Structure 1
Amino acid sequence: MILLMVVSMGIQWRLRSKFTKYSHIGLQSGLSGKQIAELMLADNNIHDVRVISTSGRLTDHYNPADKTVNLSEEVYDGRSAAAAAVAAHECGHAVQHATAYNMLQFRSAMVPALSAVSRFMPFILIAGIFMVQTTLIPLGIGITLFALTTLFSFITLPVEFDASRRALAWIDKRGIVTTQEHALAKDALWWAAMTYVVAAISSLATLLYYVSIFMGSSRRN
Structure 2
Amino acid sequence: MYWIIFIGIALISWIVQSRFKNKFKKYSEFPLSSGLSGAEVAQKMLHDNGIYDVQILVANEGQLSDHYNPGNKTVNLSPEVYHGRSVAAAAVASHECGHAVQHATAYSWLQFRSAMVPVVSIASRLTSWVLMAGVLLMAFMQNPYVLAIGVGALFLTTLFSFITLPVEFDASNRALAWLDKANVTHSREEHDGAKDALKWAAMTYVVAALSALVTLLYYAYILFGRRD
The TM-score, its normalising length taken from structure 2, stands at: 0.95
Distance (whole Å) between structure 1 residues aligned to residue 84 and residue 126 of structure 2 = 40
Residue 119 of structure 1: how far off its partner (Å): 2.3
Which residue, 193, 203, 208 being the options, matches 2:212? 203
In structure 2, the partner of 1:88 is 94
Q: Which amino acid aligns with 2:154?
A: F
In structure 2, the partner of 1:39 is 44
Q: Which amino acid aligns with 2:34?
A: S
The size of the alignment, in residue pairs, is: 219
Distance (whole Å) between structure 2 residues aligned to residue 144 and residue 114 of structure 1 = 11
Which residue, 125, 146, 155 being the options, matches 2:154? 146
User: Identity across aligned pairs (percent)?
Assistant: 59
Distance (whole Å) between structure 2 residues aligned to residue 30 and residue 179 of structure 1 = 16
SS in structure 2 opposite 1:70? strand
SS in structure 1 opposite 2:77? strand
Distance (whole Å) between structure 1 residues aligned to residue 125 and residue 42 of structure 2 = 34
In structure 1, the partner of 2:169 is 161
Distance (whole Å) between structure 2 residues aligned to residue 156 and residue 70 of structure 1 = 18
Residue 118 of structure 1: how far off its partner (Å): 2.0
Answering whether residue 215 of structure 2 is matched by residue 215 of structure 1, we say no
Q: Which amino acid aligns with 2:155?
A: A
Distance (whole Å) between structure 2 residues aligned to residue 39 and residue 195 of structure 1 = 27
Distance (whole Å) between structure 1 residues aligned to residue 125 and residue 207 of structure 2 = 23
Residue 54 of structure 1: how far off its partner (Å): 1.4
Which residue, 66, 71, 74 being the options, matches 1:60? 66
Residue 98 of structure 1: how far off its partner (Å): 0.3
Residue 124 of structure 1: how far off its partner (Å): 1.2
In structure 1, the partner of 2:143 is 135
Distance (whole Å) between structure 2 residues aligned to residue 40 and residue 15 of structure 1 = 24
Answering whether residue 113 of structure 2 is matched by residue 107 of structure 1, we say yes
SS in structure 2 opposite 1:30? coil
Distance (whole Å) between structure 2 residues aligned to residue 120 and residue 52 of structure 1 = 31
In structure 2, the partner of 1:78 is 84
Task: Give the CA RMSD over aligned residues.
Answer: 0.7
Structure 1, gaps ≥5 residues long: none
The TM-score, its normalising length taken from structure 1, stands at: 0.97
